[in-house]
Amino acid sequence: MARIDVRKTYKLYIGGAFPRSESGHSYEVTDAGGKFVANASLASRKDARDAVVAARKAFGGWSGRTAYNRAQIVYRIAEVMEDRRPQFVTAVRQAEGLTAARAERVVDAAIDRLVWYAGWADKLTQVVGNANPVAGPYFNLSTPEPTGVVAVLAPQESSLLGLVSVVAPVIVTGNTAVVVSSYERPLPAVNFAEVLATSDVPGGVVNILTGAAPTIGPWLASHMDVNAIDLAGVAGDAALATDLEVAAADNLKRVRRAPAAEPDWNAEPPLTAMTDFVEIKTVWHPIGV
């Protein structure tokens, strides 16, 4: 007797748990050849709000950790991904239609990207901070601080390497994230959520929603408790990107603008991937006190 496959419905990842969508809706996920693979929860406006609440709740504890400790935790994500490497290779092959060899290179690059950002965690302050010369008997010190809750519209084409490349710089600098995965290629993102849940990342630091960026994006862009938004996931859609920028202006969010087309995620990331989501705090202190 032939065995019937166990069909899976992937859930959302909010606050360290895996709830179904509040709407009860899901959608079919197919591989690059159009073959059914699984169902994924279709995140709603309410799910987005719940994710923001979870991210805000986690922000104080995460931003208060030492940069060295955040580096250890991001490195731990890479360790767990390395252990689950075959699973990610399969997910990338299904999502992006790559050969086994190319999918392996993508997974390796994503793991290496996490290690690269982990190394930056306790070094960014030395690069962008400063002891400023001032006229008077004062110490004047500038240092970067996390901006808060960051909404991330993940790239649509690069379902794993692009995802890691936009999430890692947000959390390594002390922010928390609400991430909308690629709509057509969510499998690497939901596998990444399972890695986060089994690593040392506190619940709520990263929240992953499967659904459509044009549907969820406007609610995140206009949400008054979201401090910044990365529009990587609407690359090439100038009209939607403009609408989201306008919505974000209601509470003066930091906006990382959508590129005209998806960039080459294999290239070394710019420093702005981290500095776009930090604020520079300057402190004056009298000398000798």
d(CA 20, CA 98): 30
User: How many separate domains does the chain show?
Assistant: 1
Residues 196-224 pLDDT 10s: 999 999 999 999 999 999 999 999 999 99
Task: Classify strands 9-10 and 36-41 as parallel, antiparallel or unpaired.
Answer: parallel
Residues 92-126 pLDDT 10s: 999 999 999 999 999 999 999 999 999 999 999 98
pLDDT of residue 289: 65
User: Is there a domain that residue 46 lies in?
Assistant: yes
**CA quadruple 29, 185, 208, 233: dihedral positive or negative?**
negative
d(CA 158, CA 273): 17
d(CA 248, CA 255): 7
Lowest mean pLDDT among 79-88, 95-104, 137-146, 268-277: 137-146
Let me know if 250 is exposed, middle or buried by CB neighbors in 10 A (0-12, 13-18, 19+): exposed
User: Is there a domain that residue 3 lies in?
Assistant: no
pLDDT of residue 1: 74
User: Is there a domain that residue 2 lies in?
Assistant: no
User: Is there a domain that residue 169 lies in?
Assistant: yes
Residue numbers of the domain that contains 35: 9-286
Residues 18-65 pLDDT 10s: 999 999 999 999 999 999 999 999 999 999 999 999 999 999 999 999
User: Is there a domain that residue 4 lies in?
Assistant: no
Q: Which run of H or E residues covers position 129?
A: none
* Full-model pTM: 0.93
**CATH code, domain with 242:** 3.40.605.10
DSSP string across 163-176: HHHHHHHHHHTT-E
Predicted confidence band at 140 (pLDDT cuts at 50, 70, 90)?
confident
User: Is there a domain that residue 127 lies in?
Assistant: yes
User: Is there a domain that residue 214 lies in?
Assistant: yes
d(CA 4, CA 2): 6
d(CA 197, CA 31): 25
Residues 150-163 pLDDT 10s: 999 999 999 999 99
Q: Is the pLDDT of residue 188 over 80?
A: yes
pLDDT of residue 8: 83
User: Is there a domain that residue 48 lies in?
Assistant: yes
d(CA 202, CA 204): 6
d(CA 133, CA 253): 31
pLDDT of residue 215: 93
